[in-house]
Amino acid sequence: MRPNVRLELIRKLMQQHNNPSFMKKIIVAILFVLLIVGGGVAYYLYNKGPLDVISSHAVEISAVNLYNSFLSDSAAAGKKYAGKVLEVSGLTEDVSVNQNQETIILLRTSVEGAHINCTLEDKTKVNANKGLIHIKGICSGIGDGDPDLGLPADVYLTRCFVINK
């Protein structure tokens, strides 16, 4: 575009700038675009599926340390870990299947009978070897135990995946 043609175009636009009906059209168009974009964002957020645990950043911690932090101050540990994605490493104590056909892996802690209780998201079978395992999942906090009957509480992880290292 030659410079004088460009100047002409700018002058025309500036003239229309003072025209109220033109301004009205521009405002309506801007509002319409905002509405479409806003609506689209709202629709996306509203229908957004659950958190993608695998690709989320995780806090790395050992099963023993995680349990001990809940044991020493459950409120502070709850604030720090509950609702967060954790990658917990520990020794497998038991692997079982619950009534919903989900795999439950129990990781050993410093307390006999107390575990990091992990519910796996995918239904793939896991070998029940008692070796070191890394599990990524969302911490839901420490459960209740039954002190009268001597049942210690577990710390729970949900939507877990076994991470191969």
Binding site for other proteins (CB under 8 A): 45-51, 78-79, 82-83, 96, 98-100, 102, 104, 117, 119, 138-146, 148-151, 153-154, 156, 158-159
> How far, in Å, CA of 33 to CA of 121, rounded?
40
Instruction: Decide whether 21 or 146 has the Cβ nearer to other proteins.
Output: 146
Shortest reach from residue 2's CB to other proteins, in Å = 53
Q: How far is the CB of 127 from other proteins (least distance, A)?
A: 20
Write phi, then psi, for 25 (nearest 5 degrees).
Answer: -60, -45
How many other CB atoms are there within 10 angstroms of residue 103's CB atom? 19
Closest distance to other proteins from the beta carbon of 18 (Å): 42
Beta carbon nearer to other proteins, 3 or 50: 50
Nearer Cβ to other proteins (141/163): 141
Question: DSSP letters along 31-47, please?
Answer: HHHHHHHHHHHHHHHHH
Q: How far is the CB of 59 from other proteins (least distance, A)?
A: 15
Nearest CB to other proteins, comparing residues 23 and 54: 54
Task: Using the minimum distance from each CB to other proteins, give the nearer residue, 82 or 163.
Answer: 82
Helix, coil or strand: residue 116: strand
Q: How far is the CB of 87 from other proteins (least distance, A)?
A: 18
Phi and psi, residue 88, nearest 5°: -105, 130
Contacts for 93 with CB less than 8 Å, ≥ 6 apart: 106, 107, 108, 115, 130
Spatial distance between the Cα atoms of 163 and 133, rounded to a whole number of angstroms: 8
